């Protein structure tokens, strides 16, 4: 975009006085590049090829907006050059042609012609709106970069934030950005190597995952190869050499393709059988995965049919007439990918032992597989698309607002810091698979989560900040810890504290369980709020809590239970959750961020590591031995019926309130129970532990003395 434009800036043009009249030279240069000027109302020669490509996908499209957009862009960019020395107008023309080839509708093409005018020229958004309407204005504004002069180092992450927010309204914004980046990557060779590497890394970490999520495989694969060539030139050269050597000889898959065509013709299935060669990065990945490729490994068969039912008919013929490789079969028609991709994948061996991979899909599926959301057209249109034959139902979600995009937009609003947002965005996009989990309640819809998500992630995806009060979960009807990793198709019920206290909040260990920014950002912010001295000075010190019990006791005394002796007078105090100290434990304290003091048992391994690391331990003591407290206990037992009920009865008899109970799966008939309890008087803890040990089958009860998880 503007980084490649060489020409007068807005400020320079404002300060410029008289200048030599070079209008005639400009006209000659324009004619040399684009041909003679077109008469009024006739398409300029420069966009005639774009118009021809566009008409193939949308025969009835009105091209007047394209004509006017080109005339405005050419006039606005006149005199600007790219770093390659070409007239700058060649860039928006190339971007528009990329989108036209993918089947983008007229509004997208109009905005792509104008996508750099507001950023690099005197054209304003008001002018774009007046001339082309609100939709085009939104698209142009969405891809317009923020000024480095105003935003400094935050310009790039904030530009992407702005672009993603606009994409949440209209996914065509990201389509234009991807095509823009593809053309810039094609012409990146004129830049310095270090700048090439920086742009390639951002493309690899952000834009390629976005292209994958939007299903625009045609752009994604070319971007991958261009990035691969810059970031791993030696590996790229080796893979490219292998590919060229293979292409120099006869294609082994041709005989297989002919055999497949004959079989399908005899079966009465109308199909188009093509050989789809691997691109360079795909070949490199296949070599790494398999250690080598057979003769048929340099490409795949692409079989295109008319109807969904024909896909399964083709599959049956392939598996009947050849030897199928069962482990390679995948059905993305019955279970589409989250990026709209639908296809059957299989592999088979012919009579000579040649293994061939095959992709089976309809022509409509193929258009969506290549162009993704671009093939679906305007997400806001309620009527039929310009060419109904190119339309594909939105499998797996509304194309205007995919589930992953909704998650991203939700958490980015909670993270104002651009650096943290940038880091979290790349981490979110690094996970390229999704799962769907369902709720037990009929009135709650399914949740789309990244693969590897836990119950903590599900809680924040479902309930937002209310998830601070989550105390447990049931997965597929069984109690589960909040760190449980969810699988596709799981049924989840999230258990919230019905009466949370004013300072309810998550345990620090939740940060270890959370994998999504939508969970990590609110957890981190809540923990920082709880640790802030100004907020804690007027509140009682928190009592240690188990990772899954965020609500602190509401029966604690107003005074802090721990007194500092001689050092840091008046500092706010919190009891460490890793070892849950209670009177009369011997304790020590450590200053932490924000000026607070965290109190640990002297025997706590965490305290030992802090001391070994050179951290100064403060002398602390208990104000009173008879205060209420929370404590986490581990009960080791032999498995038997009714053990949980007997333990719970013993706890109730000692006046302990059970805030959280977890039972780990039995191992060699041994079961570990974890209880988070609230005691009215810490001095009753020894008697409580003795009562638990007296329950038949329980052979040990111990205090929590290490971080859990």
Q: Just list the catalytic residues.
A: 119-120
Q: Which of 497, 492, 420 is nearest to 456 (CA)?
A: 492
**What is the distance between the alpha carbons of residues 491 and 244, in angstroms, rounded to a whole number?**
50
Give the helix/strand (H/E) hosting 69.
Answer: helix 64-77
Q: Which two tokens stand for residue 35?
A: 């041909």
Rounded to the nearest 5 degrees, what angle is found at the Cα of 468, between the Cα atoms of 464 and 473?
90
In the DSSP assignment, the letter for residue 145 is: P
Q: Which two tokens stand for residue 536?
A: 């804690």
Q: Are 631 and 665 in contact (CB under 8 A)?
A: no
Secondary structure of residue 137 in the 3-state scheme? helix
Q: Are 77 and 87 in contact (CB under 8 A)?
A: yes
The total number of residues written for the chain in this structure = 709
**What is the distance between the alpha carbons of residues 625 and 622, in angstroms, rounded to a whole number?**
7
Q: Which two tokens stand for residue 69?
A: 């957009």
Rounded to the nearest 5 degrees, what angle is found at the Cα of 220, between the Cα atoms of 214 and 225?
165
Q: Which of 191, 333, 352, 382 is nearest to 256 (CA)?
A: 352
Q: Are 466 and 526 in contact (CB under 8 A)?
A: no
Rounded to the nearest 5 degrees, what angle is found at the Cα of 245, between the Cα atoms of 240 and 249?
140
Q: Is 289 exposed, middle or buried (0-12, 13-18, 19+ CB in 10 A)?
A: exposed
User: In 10 A of CB 700, how many CB atoms?
Assistant: 12
Secondary structure of residue 257 in the 3-state scheme? helix
End-to-end CA distance of the chain: give it in Å, rounded: 47
Q: Is 593 exposed, middle or buried (0-12, 13-18, 19+ CB in 10 A)?
A: exposed
Q: Which two tokens stand for residue 444?
A: 């709650």
CA atoms within a 13 Å half-sphere pointing along the CA-CB vector of 228: 19
Q: Which of 681, 680, 659, 662 is nearest to 671 (CA)?
A: 662
Q: Are 424 and 521 in contact (CB under 8 A)?
A: yes
Contacts of 66 (CB under 8 A, 6+ apart): 43, 47, 50, 51, 54, 106, 109, 110, 113
Contacts of 608 (CB under 8 A, 6+ apart): none
Give the helix/strand (H/E) hosting 620.
Answer: strand 618-622
**What is the distance between the alpha carbons of residues 281 and 221, in angstroms, rounded to a whole number?**
8
In the DSSP assignment, the letter for residue 336 is: -
């Amino acid at each position: 975009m503007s980084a490649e434009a060489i020409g007068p800036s807005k400020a320079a043009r404002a300060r410029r006085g008289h200048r030599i009249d070079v209008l005639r030279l400009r006209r000659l240069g324009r004619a040399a590049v684009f041909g003679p000027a077109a008469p009024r109302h006739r398409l300029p020669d420069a966009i005639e090829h774009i118009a021809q490509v566009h008409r193939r996908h949308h025969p009835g499209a009105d091209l007047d907006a394209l004509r006017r957009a080109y005339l405005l862009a050419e006039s606005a960019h006149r005199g600007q050059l790219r770093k390659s020395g070409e007239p700058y107008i060649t860039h928006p023309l190339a971007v528009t042609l990329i989108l036209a080839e993918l089947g983008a509708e007229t509004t997208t093409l109009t905005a792509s012609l104008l996508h750099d005018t507001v950023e690099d020229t005197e054209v304003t958004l008001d002018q774009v709106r007046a001339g082309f309407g609100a939709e085009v204005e939104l698209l142009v504004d969405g891809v317009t970069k923020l000024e480095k002069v105003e935003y400094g180092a935050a310009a790039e992450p904030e530009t992407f934030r702005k672009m993603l927010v606009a994409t949440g309204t209209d996914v065509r914004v990201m389509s234009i950005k991807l095509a823009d980046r593809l053309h810039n990557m094609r012409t990146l060779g004129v830049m310095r190597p270090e700048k090439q590497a920086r742009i390639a890394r951002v493309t690899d970490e952000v834009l390629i995952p976005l292209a994958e999520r939007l299903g625009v495989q045609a752009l994604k694969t070319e971007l991958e190869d261009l990035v691969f060539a810059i970031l791993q030139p030696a590996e790229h050269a080796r893979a490219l050499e292998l590919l060229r050597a293979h292409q120099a000889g006869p294609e082994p898959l041709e005989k297989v393709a002919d055999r497949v065509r004959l079989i399908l013709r005899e079966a009465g299935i109308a199909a188009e059988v093509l050989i789809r060669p691997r691109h360079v990065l795909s070949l490199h990945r296949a070599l790494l995965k398999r250690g080598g490729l057979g003769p048929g490994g340099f490409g795949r068969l692409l079989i295109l049919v008319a109807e969904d039912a024909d896909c399964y008919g083709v599959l049956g013929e392939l598996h009947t007439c050849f030897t199928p490789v069962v482990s390679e079969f995948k059905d993305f028609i019955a279970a589409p990918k989250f990026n709209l991709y639908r296809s059957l994948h299989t592999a088979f061996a012919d009579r000579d032992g040649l293994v061939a991979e095959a992709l089976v899909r309809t022509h409509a599926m193929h258009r969506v597989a290549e162009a993704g959301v671009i093939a679906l057209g305007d997400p806001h249109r309620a009527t039929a698309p310009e060419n109904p034959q190119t339309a594909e139902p939105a499998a797996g979600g509304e194309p205007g607002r995919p589930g992953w995009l909704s998650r991203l937009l939700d958490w980015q609003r909670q993270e104002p810091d651009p650096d943290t947002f940038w880091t979290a965005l790349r981490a979110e996009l690094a996970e390229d698979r999704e799962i769907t989990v369902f709720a037990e309640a009929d009135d709650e819809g399914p949740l789309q989560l990244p693969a590897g998500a836990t119950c903590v992630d599900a809680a924040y995806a479902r309930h937002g900040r209310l998830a601070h009060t989550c105390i447990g979960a049931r997965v597929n009807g069984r109690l589960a810890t909040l760190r449980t990793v969810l699988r596709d198709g799981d049924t989840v019920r999230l258990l919230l504290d019905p009466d949370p206290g004013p300072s309810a909040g998550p345990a620090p260990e939740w940060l270890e369980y959370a994998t999504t920014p939508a969970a990590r950002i609110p957890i981190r912010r809540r923990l920082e709020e709880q640790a802030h001295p100004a907020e804690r000075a007027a509140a009682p010190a928190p009592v240690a809590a188990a990772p899954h019990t965020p609500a602190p006791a509401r029966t604690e005394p107003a005074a802090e239970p721990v007194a500092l002796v001689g050092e840091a007078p008046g500092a706010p105090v919190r009891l460490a959750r890793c070892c849950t100290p209670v009177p009369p434990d011997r304790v020590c304290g450590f200053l932490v961020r924000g000026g607070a003091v965290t109190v640990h048992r002297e025997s706590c391994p965490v305290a030992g590591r802090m001391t070994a690391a050179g951290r100064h331990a403060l002398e602390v003591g208990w104000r009173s031995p008879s205060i209420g407290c929370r404590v986490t206990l581990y009960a080791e037992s032999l498995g038997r019926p009714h053990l949980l009920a007997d333990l719970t009865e013993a706890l109730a008899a000692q006046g302990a309130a059970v805030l959280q109970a977890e039972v780990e799966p039995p191992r060699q008939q041994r079961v570990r129970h974890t209880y988070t309890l609230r005691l009215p008087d810490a001095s009753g803890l020894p008697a409580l532990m003795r009562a638990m040990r007296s329950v038949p089958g329980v052979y040990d009860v111990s205090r929590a003395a290490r971080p859990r998880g």
